[in-house]
A = this chain, B = another copy of it.
Amino acid sequence: MKGAGKPGAKTGGTGGIITLTTDFGLADPWVRMMKGVILSINPSLSIVDVTHEIPPQDVNKASFFMASIGRYFPEGTIHVCVVDPGVGSGREPVIIQTERCFYVGPNNGVFSTLDSRVKKSVVIKSRRFLTAEVSATFHGRDVFAPVAARLASTPVEEFGPALKKLVKLDRPRPRRRKDGGVSGEIIYFDRFGNAFTNIKKEMLRTAGAARAAVTLRNLEVRGVSPFYRAVPKGTPGAVINGFGLLEIFSPDGNALEEFGLKTGDRVSVGRARKRPR
């Protein structure tokens, strides 16, 4: 990392990369204020925009981003997440250190699932790491940005006392049925209208994916395809996607729109019936 010290030296082992995930959009000045605060404290840090397009106050979607972010960035990266409808109220500002990296943001469920075991977690209390005046409405700039910038060269413990309890969201879980099949649901749509389910590839291997029947609503999908264009246009298909999750798609199309799917739709994987209707 340019300008960043060796692990354990000036950057506290963080490597000097800070990622930003927010619901601020880019049409307002919030994000650039955060960047300005970070670079004013330490201009040698590298800032990576993850997304600022989380739907306003959608803690659940933010937690989906946080769940998978850790393993793709270098060890020691500092991941800042500001989706924070409770800003200024009782919710705690926190730092979580896992075996791999650091997370900074509100303790409201955005850190429900992380890349690995939590090693340390603190409530941000020490005012000397914050901006001189902390506003009631914008902790992204006044708390999380300066803390992230300083975390690159300050041990986690110095920011405040140990966190008592990390808030976790209730998440629908897939389950294995008695008949050997798997039941799950749609949890996310991406930009292409692909429907992610909460069924992981590990659950499917046992169920015999290539020969499986995937059913949802009035659709039956026969087998898990190796890639999108393996099924004819206009036909629903299923793949194991880049997250390792079962995904329902329409090749060169938009499954969300074409098949009228929505979040929460039940998805069932089982043995293909003889005569699907």
Chain B residue numbers with a CB within 8 Å of A29 are 50-51, 64-65, 68-69
Whether, in the assembled complex, A155 has its beta carbon less than 8 Å from a beta carbon of chain B, the answer is no
Complex Cα–Cα for A228 and B36 (A): 25
Place the interface of chain A in its size category. Answer: 35 or more
CB atoms of A227 and B137 under 8 A apart: yes
Q: Say whether, besides A86-B229, A88-B229, A52 and B26 are in contact (CB < 8 Å).
A: yes
Docked pose: A68 CA to B35 CA in angstroms: 13
Once A137-B241, A247-B137 are accepted as A-B contacts, the answer to whether A69 and B24 lie under 8 Å apart by CB is no
In Å, the complex CA distance between A39 and B68 comes to: 16
Judged by a CB distance under 8 angstroms, whether A260 is at the interface is: no
A226 surroundings in chain B (CB, below 8 A): 88, 136
Give residues of chain A (16-69) contacting chain B, Cβ–Cβ below 8 Å: 17, 19, 23-33, 35-37, 39-40, 43-44, 46-54, 56-57, 64-65, 68-69
